[in-house]
């Protein structure tokens, strides 16, 4: 009996241990799961009303926590992600992340489980149900009215004129700068005006400025005689001997005597002797530092003034041929000046043009700049005014660069009895870009489930019959922004070249959706390596929305 009691106690003790172990495991599991909690502030909202979704995580400071980001709450739409609130609880941290969610269609929705990463472990929240209710209108207080007739909507004004004005302003600014700094006849400086005077007038003006100087008052005889002899030498160089400035006094006087003897200049011996005397005296002042009386310096100045007059009188009158040569010389100078201005203007314009093209090419790419200047069909489609419209019943809402035109597909009589097909399209398979939206209603579908893949395969055969070859396919699930799920088939193919037997590489995408007895499909095809067409397709696919049939 004691043995049995002892055995019972041992068994009881073992059961207690097992029970305690189970409790510990259960508690540890509870603690692990209790690290992440989720909740919403309301389970019932009106269309467009916001609910707040809470995720609370308890962890220590060493764990990295990654909360969900992006549109992971579909079919609800996240409209705002708030900053994480942090609360300290002893040695733990409570992290609270909030999201603002909404939905614009009435119905019952389920917020899917959200993934949270804590350290190296992954946790999931519970899924939560939300009811979105219609906004009720009290028709007893607000009357119902007939539908307004269609009105013509004015086409929105484009801003192209602003860019045109900016371009014209820049061109005008550059043109003004070229005129002001290059082509404008600038007012002459005093030195330029003096340089345009005849040699005789210039020499007389130089003597007058010498009189106004302070050389004699300051006894600066070297500077005075240097300026005085430079005036007479420059005049002689321009009118008599073209090396007068660089010649020595003896060489210059010898040259004047030779010209006199050859009857090329009617200067008297006294004139030459006066010039020789003044030039030699100036040499003594400049190089031997000889002292000269101020009155003698003034007398030499008067003598130079008289000799300039004598030289002018001694020079023969220019012949008509010489006058013509002078006129031709001046005209050639004018032509050279004008040619120089043209070259500078062209060079600056080319530089500005190349600099502008280079800058835009660095920022936007050379291909984009080239296509902007030359033109590109796909680029014009991408940057044109897009149209958002509904096609078919139930409607497919889609944004396209051009309005799709209704087409009447030719169906065999057998198929026409089984289905109604509405089709809208832009372009064709041989064009640079092609888009087709098709809605098919099966008349006798009954409860049989429609095979969307089989329908897409039929469209691929139609593409092949239209000239497409070497069609490669891939498929994946596709969801529209408003939560409609379908099948996406895409890949590459060879497209026919118009008026040719050649083929060119292309891409295609087919989206297929089914709802009841309705099949909705969107078919896109475009040329390979067309970056503008790639962006067009991406924009179209992001705009697709399906509305449920009201039938």
The string of DSSP codes covering 259-301 is HHHTTSS---HHHHHHHHHHHHHHHHHHHS-----HHHHHHHH
User: What pLDDT band is residue 292 in, cutting at 50, 70 and 90?
Assistant: confident
Q: What is the pLDDT of residue 275?
A: 92
**Element containing residue 323 per DSSP (H, E):** helix 320-364
pLDDT beyond 50 at 19: no
Residue 178 is assigned to a structural domain of this protein: no
Q: Verify that 541 and 412 share a domain, yes or no.
A: yes
Tokens linked to 512? 């297929």
Asked if residue 473 is part of any domain, the answer here is: yes
Better pLDDT: 436 or 315? 436
Band (158; pLDDT cuts 50, 70, 90): low
Say if residue 527 is exposed, middle or buried (CB neighbours under 10 Å; 0-12, 13-18, 19+). middle
User: CATH no. for residue 417?
Assistant: 3.40.1000.10
Give the model's confidence band at 258: pLDDT under 50 very low, under 70 low, under 90 confident, else very high. very high
* Structural domain includes residue 188: no
Q: Residues 488-527: pLDDT tens digits?
A: 999 998 888 877 788 888 899 999 898 878 888 999 888 8
CA pair distance 297, 215, nearest whole angstrom: 11
Do 5 and 74 sit in the same domain of this protein? no
What's the Cα-to-Cα distance from 57 to each of 120, 141, 215, 262, rounded to whole Å?
15, 48, 98, 118
Would you state the torsion angle of the CA atoms of residues 310, 315, 316, 320, taken in this order, to the nearest 10 degrees? -130
One domain for residues 503 and 390: yes
| Highest mean pLDDT out of 66-70, 152-156, 197-201 | 197-201
| Domains contained in the chain, number | 4
Question: 67 and 1: one domain?
Answer: no
Domain that holds residue 17: 1-26
Co-location of 400 and 467 in the same domain? yes
The Cα 486–Cα 476 span in angstroms is 9
Residues 17 and 48 in one domain: no
Whether residue 395 sits in one domain with residue 288: no
CB 507 within 8 A of CB 526: yes
Q: pLDDT digit string (tens) for 436-493? A: 998 888 877 655 667 788 888 888 888 888 788 888 889 898 888 777 888 999 999 8
81 and 100 share a domain?
Answer: yes
Q: Which of 87, 102, 133 lies at the terminal end of a domain, its last residue?
A: 133
- 98 and 226 in a single domain? The answer is no
173 vs 6, more confident: 173
Question: What six digits make up the tokens of 20?
Answer: 């305690």
Would you say residue 551 lies in a domain? no
**pLDDT of the residue at 13:** 38
Within a domain: 353: no
Mean pLDDT is lowest, of 96-105, 400-409, 422-431, for 422-431
In a domain? residue 474: yes
Regarding whether 398 and 283 lie in a shared domain, the answer is: no
State the Cα–Cα distance between residues 174 and 466, nearest whole angstrom: 54
Whichever domain contains 85, its CATH number is 2.60.40.10
**If pLDDT is split at 50, 70 and 90, which confidence band does 375 have?**
low
Taking the C-alpha atoms of residue 390 and residue 481, their distance in angstroms, rounded to an integer, is: 15
**442 and 540 fall within a common domain:** yes
pLDDT tier at 225, thresholds 50, 70, 90: very high
């Amino acid at each position: 009996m004691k043995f049995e009691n002892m055995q019972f106690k041992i068994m009881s003790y073992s059961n207690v241990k097992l029970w305690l172990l189970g409790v510990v495991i259960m508690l540890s599991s509870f603690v692990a799961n209790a690290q992440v909690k989720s909740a919403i502030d309301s389970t019932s909202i009106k269309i467009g009303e916001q609910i707040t979704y809470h995720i609370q995580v308890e962890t220590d400071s060493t764990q990295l926590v990654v909360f969900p980001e992006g549109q992971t709450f579909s079919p609800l739409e996240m409209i705002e992600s708030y900053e994480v609130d942090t609360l300290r609880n002893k040695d733990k941290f409570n992290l609270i992340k909030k999201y603002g969610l909404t939905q614009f269609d009435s119905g019952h929705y389920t917020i899917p489980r959200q993934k949270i990463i804590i350290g190296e472990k992954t946790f999931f929240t519970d899924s939560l149900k939300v009811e979105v209710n219609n906004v009720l209108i009290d028709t007893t207080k607000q009357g119902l009215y007939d539908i307004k007739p269609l009105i013509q909507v004015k086409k929105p004004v484009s801003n192209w004129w602003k860019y045109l004005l900016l371009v014209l302003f820049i061109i005008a600014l550059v043109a003004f700068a070229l005129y002001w700094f290059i082509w404008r006849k600038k007012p002459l400086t005093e030195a330029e005006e003096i340089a345009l005077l005849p040699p005789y007038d210039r020499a007389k003006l130089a003597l007058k400025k010498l009189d106004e100087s302070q050389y004699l008052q300051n006894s600066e005889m070297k500077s005075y005689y240097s300026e005085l002899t430079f005036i007479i030498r420059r005049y002689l160089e321009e009118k008599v001997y073209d090396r007068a400035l660089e010649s020595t006094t003896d060489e210059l006087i010898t040259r004047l005597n030779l010209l006199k003897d050859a009857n090329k200049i009617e200067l008297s011996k006294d004139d030459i002797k006066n010039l020789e005397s003044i030039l030699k005296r100036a040499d003594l002042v400049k190089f031997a530092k000889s002292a000269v009386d101020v009155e003698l310096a003034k007398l030499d100045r008067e003598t130079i003034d008289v000799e300039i007059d004598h030289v002018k009188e001694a020079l023969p009158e220019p012949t008509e041929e010489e006058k013509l040569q002078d006129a031709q010389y001046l005209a050639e100078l004018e032509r050279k000046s004008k040619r120089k201005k043209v070259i500078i203007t062209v060079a600056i314009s080319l530089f500005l043009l190349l600099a502008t093209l280079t800058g835009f090419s660095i920022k936007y790419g050379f291909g984009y700049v080239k296509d902007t200047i030359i033109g590109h069909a796909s680029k014009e489609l991408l940057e044109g005014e897009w149209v958002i419209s509904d096609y078919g019943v139930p409607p497919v809402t889609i944004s396209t660069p051009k309005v799709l035109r209704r087409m009447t597909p030719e169906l065999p009589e057998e198929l026409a009895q089984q289905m109604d097909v509405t089709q809208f399209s832009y372009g064709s398979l041989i064009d640079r870009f092609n888009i087709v939206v098709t809605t098919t209603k099966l008349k006798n579908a009954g409860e049989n489930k429609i095979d969307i893949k089989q329908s897409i395969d039929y469209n691929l055969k139609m593409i092949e019959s239209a000239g497409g070859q070497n069609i490669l396919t891939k498929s994946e699930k596709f969801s529209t922004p408003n939560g409609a799920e379908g099948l996406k088939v895409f890949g590459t193919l060879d497209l026919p070249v118009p008026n040719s037997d050649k083929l060119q590489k292309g891409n295609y995408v087919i989206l297929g959706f089914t709802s009841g007895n309705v099949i909705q499909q969107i078919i896109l095809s475009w040329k390979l390596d067309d970056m503008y067409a790639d962006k067009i397709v991406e924009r179209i696919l992001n705009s697709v929305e399906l509305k449920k049939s009201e039938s």
